Amino acid sequence: MNIPEKADRKSTRFRYIKFCIFLSGLSVFAQLYLFQPLLPMVAEQFHTTVGDSSLLVSSSTIGMAIGLFFFAFKADSYSRKKLMIFSLLSSAVLTIISSWIQSLPLLIAIGIIKGFVISGVSAVALAYLTEEVELSVVALAISMYLSGNTIGGMSGRISATIIAGELGWRNAVLIIGIESLILGLLFWKFFPNSKFFHPQKTDYSLKMKQMKRFLSDPYMLRLFAIASLLMGSFVSVYNYLTFRLESAPFSLNHFLIAFIFLMYTFGVFGTMITSRLSKRMDQKYILKGSIIFMIIGISLLLSSHIYIVIFGLGLFTLSFFAAHTMASQMTALRAKEGKSSATSIYWLFYYFGSSILGSGTGYILHATSWSFFIIFLILAIGFAFSLTINKRSIQ
């Protein structure tokens, strides 16, 4: 009897896994935040407020949060590959359909469904890699997935902004939907089947006990709250910065605004810096320092000088990804047992923060001013920092 071997660095199987897992990350995050740079155009077409238009972004992240919670219980019941194929193809079809929808509430409803189905990829991608790839190259495979996430999120925003400026926001949505469908078909064709996974029934009782334990742990609750506040603040900035840059004193055109989203590359550096510092520094100090630099970065967005704003956005983005990387690691390390349950709750808070704070701050911006909006976010991030200095929790 031949015992299957895990994919190693030199194998063709590993090359296909790397390639396809990168494509999956590219598709997921290109679609998830597709509407973020298009909000001013959508608000104008539907004659609605900043906050209402932002529900197009929040709907997908709400769906993502609900989906990740659902798959925390059910992911191990389905084939890894079949679930990911279904998620990639169905989400792409929903994105394509979105380009023809004439009703904002219906667009929002489709966003929730799309977020739910697309969460199937995020729910099992890392589990697939740890199961199928040799331990020595798991980190490399995971980095390919995370790189796909970052590049997908960044390129999706940039291409959507440029295409929408030339052809309108509906054509931008249609083109990205078609591109995502092609990525999904390539994934279907080349992604290797699982060799080490066998579907199994979920022990609901055990899962609920684990989740109840984590939700009654002050340390974990603070990490979950930090994730929610920081992600909500981060999404708020990127949701509404386009409105700010289109108006005086900047008055930038859509082409220049598109390249503001290149600041996402700083997120990669933030993750890299965190992984290096964590070998030499205590995790709690890295988390605290990252949040402080987030506050400094977002404070610079109050400036009326474009270069200061760009520098502040870069610092804010780098610091956010550093803080998020550290908080998620601390969550996983704290959970000696039931790591999947702990990380599921973390992602639930993370995406609900994105949805609730990401849209709620739009109404604040609409009712007040950019300065008040930024000060509110500084207070939210400051509260997140205060949760790190409680001696009973983050130690």
Q: Mind listing the pLDDT tens digit for each residue in 133-153? A: 888 877 778 777 877 888 888
Find, among 81, 180, 174, the residue nearest to 121 by Cα. Answer: 81
Average predicted confidence (pLDDT) for the chain? 90
pLDDT of residue 202: 73
Mean pLDDT of 70-86: 88
Mean pLDDT of 94-112: 96
Mean pLDDT of 198-207: 78
The one-letter code for the residue type at 63 is G
The verdict on domain 10-202 having CATH code 1.10.3720.10 is no
Least confident piece of the model among 61-70, 311-320, 324-333: 324-333
pLDDT at residue 211 is higher than 80: yes
The one-letter code for the residue type at 142 is I
Structure tokens, 146: 């995370």
HEC string of the chain?
CCCCCCECCCCHHHHHHHHHHHHHHHHHHHHHCCCHHHHHHHHHHCCCCHHHHHHHHHHHHHHHHHHHHHHHHHHHHCCHHHHHHHHHHHHHHHHHHHCCCCCHHHHHHHHHHHHHHHHHHHHHHHHHHHHHECHHHHHHHHHHHHHHHHHHHHHHHHHHHHHHHHHCHHHHHHHHHHHHHHHHHHHHHHCCCCCCCCCCCCCHHHHHHHHHHHHCCHHHHHHHHHHHHHHHHHHHHHHHHHHHHHCCCCCCCHHHHHHHHHHHHHHHHHHHHHHHHCCCCCHHHHHHHHHHHHHHHHHHHHCCCHHHHHHHHHHHHHHHHHHHHHHHHHHHHHCCCCHHHHHHHHHHHHHHHHHHHHHHHHHHHHHCCHHHHHHHHHHHHHHHHHCCCCCCCCC
pLDDT at residue 84 is higher than 60: yes
pLDDT of residue 109: 97
pLDDT of residue 3: 61
Longest CA–CA span in the chain (Å) reads 72
Mean pLDDT of 334-359: 85
pLDDT of residue 31: 94
pLDDT of residue 391: 52
The answer for residues whose C-beta is within 8 angstroms of residue 23's C-beta and 6 or more apart is 148, 183, 186, 187
d(CA 380, CA 225): 11
This prediction's pTM: 0.86
Percent of the chain scoring above 90 in pLDDT = 59
Percent of the chain scoring above 70 in pLDDT = 97
Structure tokens, 253: 């055109």
Structure tokens, 318: 């780098």
d(CA 208, CA 44): 45
pLDDT of residue 59: 95
Structure tokens, 343: 């990380």
pLDDT at residue 27 is higher than 90: yes
Highest mean pLDDT among 128-132, 206-210, 268-272, 361-365: 361-365
pLDDT of residue 201: 77
Mean pLDDT of 222-243: 95
Name the more confident of 137 and 67.
67
List where CATH 1.20.1250.20 sits in the chain.
10-202, 203-395
Name the more confident of 341 and 100.
100
pLDDT at residue 15 is higher than 90: yes
pLDDT of residue 259: 86
Question: How many Cβ atoms sit within 10 Å of the Cβ of residue 363?
Answer: 14
Residue 345: strand pairing partners: none
User: CATH assignment of 203-395?
Assistant: 1.20.1250.20
pLDDT of residue 74: 83
Find, among 87, 123, 99, 111, the residue nearest to 32 by Cα. Answer: 111
Find, among 228, 26, 36, the residue nearest to 146 by Cα. Answer: 26
Q: Which pLDDT band holds residue 345 (cuts at 50, 70, 90)?
A: confident
Q: Which pLDDT band holds residue 392 (cuts at 50, 70, 90)?
A: low
Mean pLDDT of 361-371: 95
Mean pLDDT of 28-47: 92
pLDDT at residue 1 is higher than 60: no
pLDDT of residue 224: 95
Q: Which pLDDT band holds residue 205 (cuts at 50, 70, 90)?
A: confident
Phi, then psi, of 134 in degrees rounded to 5: -60, 140
pLDDT of residue 285: 93
